[in-house]
Amino acid sequence: MSDGQIAGSAAVHGDGINDAEHGEMNWVLATDRLTKRFGQLTAVSAVTFSVAHGEAFGILGRNGAGKTTLIKMLTTLLPPTSGSASVAGHDLVREAAAVRRLIGYVPQGLSSDADLTARENLQILAALYDIPRAQRPARIQSILSLVGLEDAANRLVKTYSGGMTRRLEIGQAMLHRPPLLFLDEPTVGLDPVAREAIWNHVQQLRAEFGVAVCLTTHYMDEAQHLCSRFMVLRNGAAVAIGTLAELRAAASLPDASLDDLFGYFTEGPAAQEMHGG
Ligand SMILES: Nc1ncnc2c1ncn2[C@@H]1O[C@H](COP(=O)(O)OP(=O)(O)OP(=O)(O)O)[C@@H](O)[C@H]1O
Ligand SMILES: [Mg+2]
């Protein structure tokens, strides 16, 4: 049995959330032993997890744990070495074009063109996403309003603060109203007020469009605020998957905070044991 399976089954199947019971179509995202190797290094190791429609799912792990590599595979930007995944029933590899239409992606690095205005960035993406020409102005306006950038829409992005740029990127990723949104460290480097603004926009998107969100973060307060289930990656393997209550049960730490559990699963003796170290 692999490392991921041991902890995964402890956390996931202990409290009733079970893929086999629910059937594949209830999941907007499902992976099966998804793996990525770079030469000798296994960056993502046989990771199996599912995200329900409308769910907010947190991917946690220390620097280099494999979070971005996992998201790059799930957004079709990196081919898996082995294993499989599907988005709303579409195979990640065989139906990559369909998958790309069903997802939005806010990468860890900046992705807006700083030499254009917010509106221009959105216009380019509206064309890329094949949004009908007649619908584009209204769609762009509604996204600008959703992320609070109406007043700044005609300013060059290079004059934006970090928080404004991040909000634009989230807007860009939601322009085609995908059912699944990937956010890779959405609030890194932002001040507390800007972070909370991002949280509010993400919650608003979920309320308005029912979008499922898969996010990585190093801030446990952020993960706990936004997400109802979590996966902890360690050296590429999933060492725990579940709700806060399920993670507490798996760790036998009934009062632990998410911070405590992060420490337990990523560096505590239990983590060593799970990896046979
Ligand atoms: N293109 C690549 N070629 C070789 N190794 C890579 C490549 N991309 C990532 N890696 C390695 O894979 C491992 C996982 O990296 P990844 O970026 O997925 O981690 P992460 O969990 O996102 O970390 P962080 O929290 O720092 O963003 C690291 O050891 C990294 O050096
Ligand atoms: Mg990363």
Residue with CA closest to ligand 1 atom 27: 63
- Is 43 a pocket residue for ligand 1 (Cβ < 6 Å)? yes
Distance 44 CA to ligand 2 centre (A): 12
pLDDT digits (tens, 9 = 90+) for 38-77: 999 999 999 999 999 999 999 999 999 999 999 999 999 9
Structural domain includes residue 256 = yes
Residue with CA closest to ligand 1 atom 31: 64
CA 201 – CA 170 distance, rounded (Å): 9
Q: What's the Rg (C-alpha) of the chain?
A: 19
pLDDT band of 137, cuts 50, 70, 90: very high
What is the atom index within ligand 1 of the atom nearest the CA of 108?
27
Structural domain includes residue 171 = no
pTM: 0.88
> Which strands form 103-106's sheet, in the order they lie side by side?
103-106, 180-184, 212-216, 56-60, 229-234, 237-242
Q: How many domains would you assign to the chain? A: 1
Q: Name residue, tokens 């890779």.
A: 184
Q: What is the pLDDT of residue 110?
A: 75
CATH of the domain at 242: 3.40.50.300
Q: What is the pLDDT of residue 8?
A: 38
- Angle CA(25)–CA(54)–CA(32) in degrees, nearest 5? 45
Structural domain includes residue 161 = no
Structural domain includes residue 135 = no
pLDDT digits (tens, 9 = 90+) for 166-177: 999 999 999 999
Structural domain includes residue 172 = no
For residues 208 and 24, is the Cβ–Cβ distance under 8 A? Answer: no
CA 172 – CA 104 distance, rounded (Å): 8
Find the domain containing 55 and state its range.
3-110+178-274
Q: What is the pLDDT of residue 269?
A: 59
Structural domain includes residue 183 = yes
Distance 274 CA to ligand 1 centre (A): 21
What would the mean pLDDT of 257-277 be, rounded to a whole number? 75
Distance 237 CA to ligand 1 centre (A): 13
What would the mean pLDDT of 129-134 be, rounded to a whole number? 92
What is the atom index within ligand 1 of the atom nearest the CA of 71?
18
Residue with CA closest to ligand 1 atom 29: 64
Distance 262 CA to ligand 1 centre (A): 19
- Is 4 a pocket residue for ligand 1 (Cβ < 6 Å)? no
Structural domain includes residue 210 = yes
Structural domain includes residue 86 = yes
pLDDT digits (tens, 9 = 90+) for 193-227: 888 989 998 999 899 999 999 999 999 999 999 99
